[in-house]
Amino acid sequence: MVLSTLRRAARRAVRSPFPPGSGKSDLLVHSCHHKVGTVWFKRVLNAVAETYGLRVHSGPQSALGRQDIFIDDHSRVDRSTLRPYRSSHLIRDPRDVVVSAYFYHLRTTEAWALEPDDRYGGLSYQEHLKQFDTEEGLGVEIQRSAATILRDMVAWDYNDPRGLELRYEDHLADEETGFRRLFTHYGFAQDAVDAAVEIALSFSLSKVKATTTHIRSGQPNDWENHFTPALKTLFKEETGDAALKLGYADNPDW
């Protein structure tokens, strides 16, 4: 009810989220990584898009048409082929990504994690994980994430002048400021920024966590509760120390 009221108010305030006379906006691109607030941001952007009549594409880039918002699930977008755009990109402490991914994959119902896989002797990835205790399972997840999520996070081009780089931890600490930066960067008019922020706050993780099993903890530095010395060594070896490369550690002796 509250969200519906906010949406109606936004429609009355402006027909477009962009300043009058600004013409058609650039394509808005948000790039995600698995277990880095992906579902959170999708809910926010889809709700804002619905409010302002914007069209969202969250599938493969090859299927992108004339939509207004493109949500890139794995941050593998080819920006050289996009029409004029403004983008945002969210990262998270890669050690917390591993921990979050491990516990999520133990309980997920996503098809890929439940399908038999020859790499695991015909077991699904979830069944494979469940063979191990927590420390061993986290080691398996480190190896998997190093070759996928963390590789993509480290390889990202962080110097795009059209992009806004965001950190999950900063966003979580002050959601209002984080979303205000986001929608301002997207070129929204001030009243549309205000309305979009209110919509975003209705999806606050503190509220959503109580109604979903998708979020286990979500808090920063959870890795400290689970990484043994052996796991720290494995993480550094497998990822080239992604924590250091991404600025989440001050020195290699973390």
Same domain assignment for residues 134 and 111:
yes
Question: Which range, of 15-24, 43-52, 65-74, averages the lowest pLDDT?
Answer: 15-24
Asked, for residue 254, whether it belongs to a domain, the answer is no
Provide the pLDDT for residue 15.
Answer: 72
Same domain assignment for residues 35 and 133:
no
Asked, for residue 201, whether it belongs to a domain, the answer is yes
Average pLDDT over the chain, rounded to an integer: 91
Asked, for residue 146, whether it belongs to a domain, the answer is yes
Angle in degrees, CA 242, 244, 248, rounded to 5: 95
Q: Which residues contact residue 96 at a Cβ distance below 8 angstroms, ignoring those fewer than 6 apart? A: 220, 221, 222, 223
Same domain assignment for residues 59 and 173:
yes
Same domain assignment for residues 121 and 200:
no
SS3 212: coil
Asked, for residue 127, whether it belongs to a domain, the answer is yes
DSSP 86-129: EEEEEE--HHHHHHHHHHHHHH---HHHHS--GGGTT--HHHHH
Provide the pLDDT for residue 136.
Answer: 98
- Record the pTM: 0.89
| Total number of domains constituting the chain | 2
Provide the pLDDT for residue 205.
Answer: 80
Same domain assignment for residues 34 and 128:
no
Provide the pLDDT for residue 14.
Answer: 46
Same domain assignment for residues 68 and 137:
no
Same domain assignment for residues 17 and 67:
yes
pLDDT in tens, 145-172: 999 999 999 999 999 999 999 999 999 9
Same domain assignment for residues 27 and 135:
no
Asked, for residue 51, whether it belongs to a domain, the answer is yes
Calculate mean pLDDT across residues 45-65: 96
Asked, for residue 252, whether it belongs to a domain, the answer is no
Same domain assignment for residues 110 and 183:
no
CATH code of the domain covering residue 167: 3.40.50.300
Same domain assignment for residues 42 and 78:
yes
Same domain assignment for residues 120 and 39:
no
Query: Binning pLDDT at 50, 70 and 90, where does residue 215 land?
Result: low
Q: Is the pLDDT of residue 214 over 60?
A: no
Please say whether the beta carbons of 172 and 205 come within 8 A: yes
Asked, for residue 253, whether it belongs to a domain, the answer is no
Same domain assignment for residues 80 and 62:
yes
Asked, for residue 240, whether it belongs to a domain, the answer is yes
Range of the domain at 232: 94-151+216-245
Calculate mean pLDDT across residues 85-113: 97
Provide the pLDDT for residue 6.
Answer: 57
Calculate mean pLDDT across residues 185-205: 96
